[in-house]
Amino acid sequence: MQFSVELPTARADRADEFVTAEAVAEVARAAEDAGYGACFVTDHPAGDGKWLETGGHHALDPFVALSFAAAATTRLRLLTHVYIAAYRNPFLTAKSVLSLDALSGGRLILGTAAGYLRPEFGALGVDFDERNDLLEETLDVIERVWEGGDVAYEGRHFRARGVRMEPLPADGARPTIWMGGNSIRAIHRAVERCDGWAPFRSTGIARGAKTALLDGADDLAERIDVARRHAEEIGRTHPLDICWTGAEISGRDDVGRLEEIGVTWLAVGFGGADRRSYIDRLRRFADDVIAA
């Protein structure tokens, strides 16, 4: 199993400690040195006040934040967890992905999902009910762009004729894509079109997030079985990464249980009043769990 750690850039309450170029670089370097496989950030460009006051959080632009982490490290992978593709034109997404992947030496993992925050869709002028179709369009476009050559595509709100985008990934190796979301539809999309599936523990927020309830390892195991059965149905033979978020980890036994059911990545985050305490907790987890 590999581990991804959150860059605490949502901490607008302590921006001087967590939301600076120095802070992003320091946490990313500490994560790399401690043995984490990746760092991650989320994506909320226009969260509304009601959501922020009831458990929501701020977020930097994911590609900007991860570019600072990339510049400070050499091995650490860079995960968008998750990027809401429906908020942007697919060609802009393809350009952002290729840009960060090129500058980081192929370290990007594009975690994406349909999204759930209706007021944010409204603020960005995007029809909430089109989010799944728009996500599928983005997957179509980026796959075609990464193949090289001229791309023609007519989407719901745009028309492209002969678009050519470079630089392409080195050696033809396209960036990794993980699909977020807990629903059966998200699982099927991950199996059919992606390299991984990124569910999250949704106790207490399943209704607000418009997603299926996943309360722990047993629920997750049932959904992983759904993914495996669907892979057999469509003839998928290459492995599917499973990145689980929100697990309560007290030691190696908890990690072992997740490994047994098929989890290949674990995404974690830590509290802390300041950057130093966050890094201390990051390192302690690495010593107690990752190294063990």
Please report the pLDDT score of residue 202 as a whole number.
80
In this prediction, residue 205 carries a pLDDT of 54
Q: What is the pTM of this model?
A: 0.95
Quickly tell me which residue has 């894509």 as its tokens.
Answer: 177
The pLDDT value recorded for residue 276 is 98
Supply the pLDDT for residue 212: 75
CB burial of residue 219 (10 Å; 0-12, 13-18, 19+): middle
Residue with tokens 């207490």: 204
Successive 10-residue mean pLDDT values, the chain, 292 residues? 97 96 98 98 97 94 98 98 98 96 96 96 98 98 94 97 90 89 96 97 62 85 97 98 89 88 97 96 95 86
Predicted pLDDT of residue 206? 45
- Predicted local distance difference test score (pLDDT) of residue 24: 98
Per-residue pLDDT at 123: 98
pLDDT digits (tens, 9 = 90+) for 255-268: 999 999 999 999 99
- Angle at 240 (CA atoms; ends 238, 244), nearest 5 degrees: 170
User: How do strand 159-163 and strand 151-154 relate by DSSP bridges?
Assistant: antiparallel
Give Cα 202 distance to the centre of its chain. 16
Spatial separation of the C-alpha atoms in residues 87 and 114, rounded to whole Å: 9
Count of H-run helices and E-run strands, the chain = 11, 10
Cα(146)–Cα(153) distance, integer angstroms: 14
Domain boundaries defined on the chain: 2-180+246-253+268-290
With contact defined as beta carbons under 8 Å apart, do 182 and 113 qualify? no
Out of 3.40.50.300, 3.20.20.70, 3.50.50.60, 3.20.20.30, which CATH number does the structure's domain 2-180+246-253+268-290 have?
A: 3.20.20.30
Q: Tokens standing for 56?
A: 């929501």
Please state the φ and ψ torsions of residue 177, each to the nearest 5 degrees.
-125, 130
> HSE-up of 91 (CA within 13 Å, CB side)?
16
R_g of the chain computed on alpha carbons: 19
In degrees, rounded to 5, the angle at the alpha carbon of residue 133 between the alpha carbons of residues 127 and 81 is 85
Q: How far apart are the two ends of the chain, measured CA to CA in Å?
A: 12
Question: Which residue pairs, CB below 8 angstroms and at least 24 apart, start in 147-153?
Answer: 153/90
Half-sphere exposure of 69 (CA within 13 A, CB side): 35
